[in-house]
Structure 1
């Protein structure tokens, strides 16, 4: 089911319908560019930015990759941060605590390019470049420090 937005220029469709179409295009061998909604990937990927997805066909994943996956019936776009007990561990860059544990069969796609919405130049960012993946992993590894800083800031206000 879909409906029109307030400005009548766009249509709003359910996530299930949207991601079914994304899955269909990926299955057809196409690259799919989607817009990211939400702040779970901040500071690297902002709400409204878009990414180019390539279907995941199995095989090795690069640590630090950005993945579209299904977790407990919902779609998530988060970073691959490790493995635990044979499962893939995902975490949003903007998340200080939560992690998702998924099987490789839950992975839908791997993001290859990031298109920032608010960047001065129209430059795209290669998400598979080692530096992009290392920055994301380093940000993940300092989550404890980020939690402490957030707590101190909340106590000061």
Structure 2
């Protein structure tokens, strides 16, 4: 078996390259780090990104964006004025408000590390599932509080 080497680079350098490839019109597959998109996308899973070209975003789309100088991969859940509202699936409270210029890409496919089949997450059913999960935040918060108390 051929041994592969890996190296660690800064997030800034990594996403600079991701942006460059997207601007060239290429699809980019990245590995997700963190648990903000649980339960649907786990740390270590991969997602396929396509550059955002200003097309209307459907609610529930998974997008890569810049927020306060950092890169986030979260779900688009609505709009307030000219700001786009993002939320991580695993987050019970917080939102990010971003300008349209901060949207870099949207995800079209999800490659779970668990070996499950790849999923087309840009399809209406998957976006709908994500939005239902988002709208259940209040119920999820209540369950979390009850679990802590009992």
- Could you list the structure 1 runs, at least 4 aligned residues long, displaced by more than 4 angstroms after superposition: none
Aligned to 1:99: 95
1:37 aligns with 2:29: no
1:110 aligns with 2:102: no
Name the TM-score, length of structure 1 as normaliser. Answer: 0.91
Equivalent residue for 2:140, pick from 133, 138, 146: 146
Aligned to 1:14: 10
Equivalent residue for 1:135, pick from 101, 119, 129: 129
Measure the CA separation in 2 of the matches of 1:78 and 1:25. Answer: 20
Aligned to 1:90: 86
Using the TM superposition, give the Cα deviation of residue 128 of structure 1 relative to its aligned residue in structure 2, in angstroms: 1.2
Equivalent residue for 1:65, pick from 47, 61, 64: 61
Partner secondary structure for residue 150 of structure 1:
helix
Aligned to 2:118: 124
Measure the CA separation in 2 of the matches of 1:131 and 1:150. Answer: 27
Pairs aligned (count): 147
Structure 2 portions without partners, runs of 5+? none
Name the TM-score, length of structure 2 as normaliser. Answer: 0.95
Using the TM superposition, give the Cα deviation of residue 85 of structure 1 relative to its aligned residue in structure 2, in angstroms: 2.1
